[in-house]
Amino acid sequence: MTSAGHNFERGRLLLQMMERIRAFEEQACLAAERDKLVLGAIHPSIGQEAVAAGIMHNLTREDILLSTHRGHGHTLAKGADSLAMMRELLGREGGCCGGKGGSMHIADFSVGMLGANGVVAANITIAAGAAHAIRLKGDKRIVVDIFGDGAVNRGPFLEGLNWAAVFKLPILFVCEDNQYSATTRTSSMTAGEGAGARAVALGMRSTTVDGNDVEAVADSMAGITARLRAGGPPEFLHAITYRRTGHTSFDPAVYRPKGEPEIEEKKNDPIARQQAVLIAAGMTEADMRSLHADAQAEMVEVLKKAAATAFPDNSTAFMDVQDIGSPALEAF
């Protein structure tokens, strides 16, 4: 802790995680675009790293996380292995899900990451179910469910939040608001006062935070997790950030105003903002460069190793697949 009260070591860890997330996603985009190693879409969260780093810093390995199709950063920050993640994106042996989940459905139960989800808002009701199971079992874990601003206009948002509020479940709902629902400005298709107001209408405590200020995210999360662990009711966090890339790595994002991403990069980059905080707190330029270089080197090597890994043997195709027979016969 510095004399000004800033927790320097926490701040350094938060910056380190953001550097690792960005480096991972940069390599993932290269794998998809340059090397054609990814079958399917990559949905980067470049520019949104502070949300993942700040939230996960306050969770334990045992706590439960559910995420969106834009979930690489959340998964990495929750503690998943970067090489296993990259292998998963490339569909290779040794991937988190054996190469079957890919980018949009990456999961790692060993760190409490129940999965990303390619269906917008579908993770909200799954998360409520996980939290209800925890309540029934009497566990001390909490659940964090992250979804985008587009999800608040879908049915599972109301269903999941209502269920959690009625049963006072140990869950935090996080709206990671990057201001765009795929290719549409979210504000143009969302009535009323937005995501947080809808949570308040269901009786939840709602907190709005600058999602590009990693210290503010971590501070908000520290209070929220403390209340949840003490048996408090579910809460809502509205983290306002910005998606610097297109919806996918291949999307040129021509629907955005000209120059908008460049302005955001210059004035609102979460990594640059945290670097400024740490420089003011006494971090040296050499230490900062070292953090960046280490993250870049790690993920370059991760992609190299993942690309050199074999594809799963065909005999594994039906492993982990449940077959209960014809639903028509079994159900009726």
Query: Which residues 6+ apart lie within 8 Å of 31 measured at CB?
Result: 37, 38, 42, 86, 89, 90, 303, 306, 307
% of residues, the chain, pLDDT over 70:
96
The confidence score (pLDDT) of residue 327 equals 66
Say whether pLDDT at 109 is over 60: yes
- Which tens digits make up the pLDDT trace of 177-217? 999 999 999 999 999 999 999 999 999 999 999 999 999 99
Residue type present at position 98: G
Average pLDDT in the chain: 94
Going by the DSSP 8-state scheme, the letter that residue 201 receives in this structure is H
Which residue blocks in the chain are alpha helix, DSSP H? Answer: 8-33, 49-56, 72-77, 82-89, 122-137, 155-167, 195-201, 214-229, 260-268, 270-280, 285-307, 327-331
What are the extents of the domains in the chain?
Answer: 8-307
- Which tens digits make up the pLDDT trace of 259-273? 999 999 999 999 999
Region of poorest pLDDT, from 45-54, 263-272, 319-328: 319-328
The confidence score (pLDDT) of residue 331 equals 56
- Which tens digits make up the pLDDT trace of 276-288? 999 999 999 999 9
Residue type present at position 168: K
Query: Which residues 6+ apart lie within 8 Å of 181 measured at CB?
Result: 148, 149, 150, 153, 189
Dihedral of alpha carbons 66, 72, 78, 79, sign: positive
Q: What are phi and psi of 11, to 5 degrees?
A: -60, -40
The confidence score (pLDDT) of residue 4 equals 53
Rounded mean pLDDT, 21-30: 97
The CATH number that domain 8-307 falls under is: 3.40.50.970
The confidence score (pLDDT) of residue 63 equals 98
Q: With contact defined as beta carbons under 8 Å apart, do 78 and 113 qualify?
A: yes
Of the candidates 294, 258, 232, the residue with the CA atom closest to the CA atom of residue 23: 294
> Does an H or E element contain 64, and which?
strand 64-66
> Does an H or E element contain 180, and which?
strand 180-181
Confidence of residue 80 (pLDDT cuts 50, 70, 90): very high
Task: Look up residue 59 and give its two tokens.
Answer: 């969770």
Task: Look up residue 118 and give its two tokens.
Answer: 């390619």
Task: Look up residue 290 and give its two tokens.
Answer: 């070292």
